[in-house]
Structure 1
Amino acid sequence: MNILAIVTTIEFQNRATIEALSKKYKNVRVVVKRNIKDYFKPKTQSIFVDIDYFYTLFPEKTSRKYKFISFLELSISYFFLRKKLNNCDICLVTSIHITYLLPLLKNKYLISLFVDPYSLMNGFKSKKEEVLLAEQSDLLLCTSKQLATTYCKKHLNIDVEGHYWPNTADLDRWNFDKFNERIITNEIVFGYAGNMNEITIDLELVELLISEFPEIKFRFAGSLNFSDPENVKRMKNLLIPDNVSYIGKIPYESIQEEVFGWDVCLMLDNINELSKYVHHNKVYQYLALGKVVVATKTHDDYSNLVEEIFEAETKENFIEKAREAIKVCRQQERISNRIKLARTESADVRAAQLMDIIKKNV
């Protein structure tokens, strides 16, 4: 059985699982959707998987608004994809931005991947696309347990359940051995990496952490994407103290070295309806570098990792867990255990899990 993965540029940046599939089973090809204005930009390449590109002419908003343009885009995409579709049995779709291609995929076994509760995140602007993907897919994969069991019924109003297929980390990139000769200072460092917004940052918790640990160095990496300007202002004020550093957004290919210099990795999600559907791949990235994680408990997805992921249901409990993490963050035995845990959740493991799911359902 041959698999054609149809992805967008953003979704394919972290392609470890697709590469693992191709290395082991030799049956995966990838096509990446791109707008024609990006034609001359560098193209992602891989020694493990064949990657081709197909192009759209118009902005997505324009295609959605005008049926003629939407039909034109579909025809253009068919021109690029026809031969590849003829040579595949299964299509793997990883984004709601590929939904317009569904008429071309009717005769294929369709697997779709939900990685976030997009409708909840964008005020249900993408509900139509999510419903189409969920209902027309022969197999729906979801990266969190709640996305798989609850999301479609509760928020899309359709009786569809997915298969839980969690995130992972690229262990070739997040490799402890690449950095283990780096000199570590006596200074304990707490670090946060990722977009900072109303979903991912509990501002009251950040304020409490900085207040409770004046002797700790804090480093925040990522973009400030709060929708409320007051929250942007509040976060900027929290970055002012001398023991707090804001280092901005770091390219994915170099963030590993920054994280390796941390002792405790923080996951500061607000505990609410939206966050219970979000399963972070950075959990596995942190563990792969031997780091202990302190996180707000938004769901039960990490229950098999509780040895090294300290989850807290309240702000006060988070402070307690952070103190516990300080005590064990540099213990060599615990560092080795974290790396071992990350390997049990590797891209190779996920690839094998996906093939098992496919074999049981196709």
Structure 2
Amino acid sequence: MLKVTIIAGARPNFMKIAPIIHEINRVKSLGNDIDFRLVHTGQHYDKNMSGSFFEQLEIPEPHVNLESSGGTQAEQTASIMVSFEKELQNFPADLVLVVGDVTSTMACAIVAQKLHTKVAHVEAGIRSGDWTMPEEINRLVTDSITNYFFTTSKLANDNLKNSGVSDDKIFYVGNTMIDTLLKQRSNFIKPQIWDELGLENKKYIVMTLHRPANVDEEFVLKELMQEIIDNSKDYPLIFPVHPRTAKILDRLGINHSRLYNVPPLSYLEFNYLVERAKAVITDSGGITEETSIMRVPCLTLRDNTERPETLTLGTNELVGTNPKNIKPYLDKLFNNEWKTGNDIPLWDGDTSKRIVKSILNLF
């Protein structure tokens, strides 16, 4: 029996591993000798991750939650490593599969290798080049000790080859986040705020901001918000906001009749809004992937991206972090001059099939 331990540490990780779990269950039902154990490190405490969250993704609740939330980066890394070492000793695996670029990804990869367990990294090889981002350090460290690399793009393949990874360890498979998006698209749920705010198709803008560079520097946040409000015509701005950011906005007195700060939404509710929005303004990497597939204009308030295919083939534009950059991009949007986007190779809903097939062949 091939035993695979799958690691998830934050909400987006579960979107990435859900289709892999579906595929393992499918091939197992066909007689393949494979099974998985789902480990939630508990890195991000999220009250929205209740039973309904796992039901929506059609996956079982994790076999274990290591409850390693809170603390500094170093404290959290240490906590995950200590807990996961015990977990892997109690439940040995043939392969530890990590996804994305959160602290759990790096911490569990280190533990697995020290216990002589092979590591596969889903979403390997992506790079922003920005070492001030904790995620970039997590990517670099994880990929330096990974055995099998599952990549989303040819550029990711090149990044790995340039760092000395041999071709036979790289598997260009596509994007599991898109597997989930395409599978769940018909199941999107209209959020309560749709009717409450009288929202109309393509007549509002969705916002998400969470990166410290944007939300912790209060002067920057105030200026960013003011530029967005001043240049978004009469469009409602729907901002599902983290409680910490909500407090900062409140303290800065950032409010407007068109700005609606709403509580964080479920995956199916949030993407219902995104699919029907005029545009999305964000500093998230994952959202740029989803908007590109749904052909929704996306303005990214960052100076770099580890997902350049969303710029070259998708509907994403890198606006930067200078608030003064926002107006020209919003003008372009309202003048209907935004690019429409193209298909992105292998972002087709079958990535998990390619991953599981590769794993079965390897073992």
Partner SS, residue 183 of structure 2: coil
CA distance in 2, matches of 1:148, 1:5: 24
Residue pairs, 1:1-362, within 5 angstroms: 2=2, 4-10=4-10, 12-14=13-15, 15-19=17-21, 21-22=23-24, 25-26=27-28, 29-33=36-40, 44=54, 53-54=63-64, 56=66, 61=75, 64=78, 70=82, 74-75=85-86, 77-79=88-90, 81-82=91-92, 85=93, 88=94, 90-94=95-99, 95-99=105-109, 101-102=111-112, 106=116, 108-113=117-122, 120-122=132-134, 131=141, 133-141=142-150, 166=175, 168-169=177-178, 170=180, 171-175=182-186, 185=200, 188-193=203-208, 195=210, 197-198=212-213, 203=221, 204-223=223-242, 225=244, 233=248, 237=252, 239-260=254-275, 262-267=277-282, 269=283, 280-287=285-292, 289=294, 291-296=296-301, 298-299=304-305, 300-306=308-314, 308-312=315-319, 318-328=326-336, 341=343, 345-346=347-348, 348-352=349-353, 354=355
TM score, norm. by length of structure 2: 0.61
Structure 1 residues 293-336: Cα deviation after superposition (integer angstroms, max 9, x where no partner): 23356243314434x3344467666433323323549x9xx9xx
Post-superposition offset of 1:185: 3.5
Instruction: Name the CA shift for 1:238/1:218 in 2 (closer, same or farther; >3 Å).
Output: farther
Q: Say if 1:168 and 1:350, in contact at 8 Å, map to a contact too.
A: no
Instruction: Give the 4+ runs in structure 1 shifted more than 6 A.
Output: 45-51, 57-60, 115-119, 142-153, 158-162, 176-179, 356-362
SS of equivalent to 2:332: helix
SS for the counterpart of 2:239 is strand
Do the aligned partners of residues 220 and 99 (structure 1) sit closer, same or farther apart at CA in structure 2, a change above 3 Å counting? same
Secondary structure class of the residue paired with 2:237: strand
Alpha-carbon distance, 1:192 to partner: 0.8
Kindly, what percent of the aligned residue pairs are identical?
Answer: 9
**1:215–1:311 distance in 2 versus 1, CA, 3 Å:** same
C-alpha distance in 1 between matches for 2:250 and 2:155: 29
Aligned Cα root-mean-square deviation (Å)? 5.3
Inter-CA distance 326–343: structure 2 relative to 1 (3 Å threshold): farther
Which runs of no fewer than 5 residues in structure 2 stay unpaired? Answer: 29-33, 100-104
Deviations 1:229-270 (A, max 9, x none): xx9746864731212121132233432334355321112x4x
Instruction: Give, in whole Å, the separation in 2 of the partners of 1:176 and 1:56.
Output: 30
Relative distance call for 1:324 and 1:141 in structure 2 (3 A) is same
Residues 258-267 or 214-223, more deviating: 258-267
Rg: which structure is higher? 1
Q: In structure 2, how many angstroms separate the alpha carbons of the residues matched to 1:47 and 1:315?
A: 36
Q: Alignment length, in residue pairs? A: 317
In 2, the alpha carbon distance for the partners of 1:220 and 1:24 equals 38
- State the distance in 1 between where 2:286 and 2:294 align: 13
Unaligned runs of 5+ in 1: 270-277
